[in-house]
Amino acid sequence: MAGEKIRILIVDDIAETRENIRKLLQFEADFEVVGVARTGKEAIDLSQELKPDVILMDINMPDMDGIAATEAIRRKLSFAQIIILSVQNDPNYMRRAMLAGARDFIFKPPRIDQLSGTIRVAGAIAAEERSKQTPVAMPGMMPGMMPGMMMPAMPKGKVIMVFSPKGGTGCTTIASNLAVAMVNEETKVALVDGNLQFGNVAIFLNEQGKNTIIDLAPRADELDYDIVKEVMIANAASGVHLLAAPLRPEHAEKVSGEQFGKVLTFLRQMYSYIIVDTPAYLTDVVLSTMDVADLFILVTSQDIPAIIGAKSFLSLTDAMRINRKRIVFTMNRYDKRVGNPPEKVGEYLKQEVVSVIPLDERIVINAVNRGVPFMIDNKMQPIGRSIAALADTVKDTLAKLDAAENEKPLR
């Protein structure tokens, strides 16, 4: 809700560290440090009592480590989002932290911009999770529900980011056709244009974006189902709902990364899949999308600039501790007469190409020029079948990730 502060609990066994973090956070008007804990056990007790949105958790503490405390807290207080702070630069630690249910991982000493950005994203997620547990009726969401009835936990939609570090590789083609492949009666799909300056998703679907992200961004803190439904453009030909880019490039700057992230987080309540098309460079909007994305479709082609770009992106995601299992590496415009086949590129980047989409200029260009995604009328062609296979890969990968998350970490 607008104006509500993010309530934060700091957990660290060293008094000076606790104090330093508290000082860093006190200048942020939307943060409130509601408590500090010195041990893992104290953190569990205090989180029960204070019900914070975000917990900043140290790893090494005398009684119980931060990972065990994280797991215990998440079990009791499922909306609370835990950010691990650690000097440990050990991927194994991070993996265990993530498996225990931590939201994010930051190295000590934290930089204020990084820390506050991470806390805001975590705070937005906590607010969303909390609202699911609050007994309010959401208009239109649950027909037949009486006010005051407990909302059952809504299935949480998955955010899928489609990215290529080189323009023209086929992100928009893939994002729009994948959306069409995934939508059906029971599975609602949102297609979001994350290219705010020169986004063209609306053109791919032959929709004139009368409403755009500009209509939602200023209300990012007070979104509700009706507002969002009004702004989303329902594409009659496919059933996909589109959130269009601003109509003029100079309006792009009216949308902050933070607002964009909050909109995506809200869309999780309304759609099973939220597919975000992105530009070929890292804007604040793209970085916010990376923060909330469950899955990344990294698109390459057979040319060296695209391959080198993919390599840089993978080093970035490695540095951000994004699990490589969350990356669906896709080769588009595949032509067997050209060098750099998928196996070779996969080997070179140490990331297997799991989806290959053939070059088919006739079908692709016709589809764009008519504004009818080829998944509507050409889905039995090889290119259509390759997108259908990509949709299956995406679903399988998400299911595997969910299964791994529910698995208890071995200790």
Which of 6-14, 17-25, 66-74, 362-370 is the region at the interface with ligand ADP (rule: CB under 6 A)?
362-370
168 near ligand ADP, judged by CB under 6 A: yes
332 near ligand ADP, judged by CB under 6 A: yes
Residue 128 binding partner per list ligand ADP, Mg ion, none, with a CB distance cut-off of 5 to 8 Å that depends on partner kind: none
Q: Is the dihedral of CA 75, 76, 80, 86 positive or negative?
A: negative
Residue nearer to ligand ADP on the CB measure, 47 or 289: 289
Identify which of 111, 192, 197, 176 has the alpha carbon closest to the alpha carbon of residue 372. 176
Burial of residue 280, with CB atoms counted within 10 A of its CB: 0-12 exposed, 13-18 middle, 19 or more buried: middle
Residues 301 and 280: their CA atoms lie apart, in Å, by: 13
Which of 118-126, 164-172, 207-215, 228-236 is the region at the interface with Mg ion (rule: CB under 5 A)?
164-172
Query: For residue 82, which amino acid is it?
Result: I
Residue nearer to Mg ion on the CB measure, 97 or 171: 171
- Separation in Å, CA 356 to CA 11, 96, 359, 379, 382: 46, 32, 10, 15, 11
Which of 29-37, 67-75, 81-89, 167-175 is the region at the interface with ligand ADP (rule: CB under 6 A)?
167-175
Residue nearer to ligand ADP on the CB measure, 83 or 357: 357
Sheet holding 295-300, edge to edge: 233-234, 241-243, 189-193, 273-277, 158-163, 295-300, 327-334, 353-358
338 near ligand ADP, judged by CB under 6 A: no
259 near ligand ADP, judged by CB under 6 A: no
Q: Which of 16, 186, 361, 407 binds ligand ADP (CB under 6 A)?
A: 361
172 near Mg ion, judged by CB under 5 A: yes
Q: Which of 55, 357, 387, 394 binds ligand ADP (CB under 6 A)?
A: 357
* Inter-residue contact 238 to 183 (CB < 8 Å): yes
Residues 364 and 171: their CA atoms lie apart, in Å, by: 13
389 near ligand ADP, judged by CB under 6 A: no
Residue nearer to Mg ion on the CB measure, 34 or 171: 171
Separate counts of helices (H) and strands (E) for the chain:
15, 13
Instruction: Count Cα atoms within 13 angstroms, Cβ side, for 39.
Output: 6
* Inter-residue contact 8 to 126 (CB < 8 Å): no
Residue nearer to Mg ion on the CB measure, 47 or 278: 278
Tokens of 276: 């975000």
Residue 288 binding partner per list Mg ion, ligand ADP, none, with a CB distance cut-off of 5 to 8 Å that depends on partner kind: none
Name the minimum Å distance from CB 161 to ligand ADP: 13
SS3 of 238-278 = CCCEEECCCCCHHHHHHCCHHHHHHHHHHHCCCCCEEEEEC
* Inter-residue contact 342 to 353 (CB < 8 Å): yes
Q: Which of 98, 364, 372, 391 binds ligand ADP (CB under 6 A)?
A: 364
189 near ligand ADP, judged by CB under 6 A: no
Which of 78-86, 207-215, 304-312, 356-364 is the region at the interface with ligand ADP (rule: CB under 6 A)?
356-364
Which residue ranges make up the site for Mg ion (CB under 5 A)? 171-172
Which residue ranges make up the site for ligand ADP (CB under 6 A)? 164, 167-173, 332-333, 357, 359-361, 364-365, 368, 383
